[in-house]
Structure 1
Amino acid sequence: MEIAMLRDVIEDDLSIFFEHQMDTISNFMAAFTAKDPSDKIAFKAHWEKILNNETIIKKTVIYNGNVVGHVLSFEQFGEREVSYWIGREYWGKGIATEALSQFLDSIIIRPLYARAAKDNIASIRVLEKCGFEIKGEDKGYSNSRAEEVEEYILKLSQ
């Protein structure tokens, strides 16, 4: 298996991230997504804020020479969280686990939190393989599902 690599996000990555965001199945699984994934102006504004915020750690995931997703760490609800997005065509190859593992090795901030829709078994599994444990539950409105969705709150202590 090729190994996923991380590098800093660059402007050229954004068009690929936008394509990933347009995938209906990915949006359903992620649950908590943009109101309108096809709104390129909102997408660009969102990523401009991310790129200009030095407190957000942002990495592009490269696999086999291709940009396949991203991993982020940011402040939310008073805690440091991580999130990731891998393009659906790359699911099931261990890329998310490898990328998140590398990302976690590169940052020393602990504890870290993550959130995943309760029915997003694959994402929960990735997080657990990387040492996260389910510590709580929450729910929120999902734009992609047009309903309230239950989620797990996971924590990485070490």
Structure 2
Amino acid sequence: MISLRETHDSDVAHFWAHQSDPDAQYAAAFTGKYHYDRAEFDAHWARIRADAGIVQRTILADGEVVGQIAVFGPSDEREITYWIGRAHWGRGIATAALTALVDLVRDRPLYARAAADNTGSIRVLEKCGFAVTGHDRGFALARAAEIDEVTLTLT
């Protein structure tokens, strides 16, 4: 069973384990410097948890912390972000979590971005009603290169 709950301090260690995984970083492509330094990661999460404008939830699968999901940004540019631990990919967790979050957060439009070759993430977003609305190129820190990116929108 997949559920979302408020994020607890103890969840951040799980998020670090998920987001510092080099294979997961490569798939996500657009990482931040905090993905590579635990102190920066902890400071990043302290800022997220202190920001009342961010809707942040921990994803649980049968009671186990398997990822995180959030909506952030100004009211006219709200964006979805999520990260599932690699050991839990391919089990429908991201789709279930995203479905729950878009039911919780009624703001529209909602935006998302993904590396153009991250077909798994794009498929999750499309199954939840997002449509590809743009293409861009950007620097992907995890790949140390400029790569193609897609923008998706839920209206």
TM-score, scaled to structure 1: 0.94
Tell me the amino acid that sits aligned with residue 117 of structure 2: D
% identity of equivalent residues: 46
Report the Cα distance in structure 1 between the residues aligned to 2:9 and 2:26, rounded to whole angstroms. 26
Aligned pairs for 1:99-138 within 5 A = 99-138=97-136
Q: How many residues align structurally?
A: 154
SS of structure 1 residue aligned to 2:136: strand
Q: Equivalent of 1:23, from 9, 21, 24? A: 21
Do the aligned partners of 2:34 and 2:41 also contact (CA within 8 Å) in 1?
no
Q: Which runs of 5+ in 2 are unaligned?
A: none
Deviation at 1:36, TM superposition (A): 5.6
Report the Cα distance in structure 2 between the residues aligned to 1:33 and 1:26, rounded to whole angstroms. 10
SS of structure 2 residue aligned to 1:144: helix
Do the aligned partners of 1:4 and 1:95 also contact (CA within 8 Å) in 2?
yes
Q: Equivalent of 1:91, from 86, 89, 92? A: 89
- Stretches (4+) displaced over 3 A: none
Aligned pairs for 1:8-157 within 5 A = 8-35=6-33, 37-75=35-73, 79-157=77-155
TM-score, scaled to structure 2: 0.96
SS of structure 2 residue aligned to 1:124: helix
Deviation at 1:38, TM superposition (A): 3.3
Deviation at 1:17, TM superposition (A): 0.2
Deviations 1:99-137 (A, max 9, x none): 000111111100000000000000000000000000001
Deviation at 1:90, TM superposition (A): 0.3
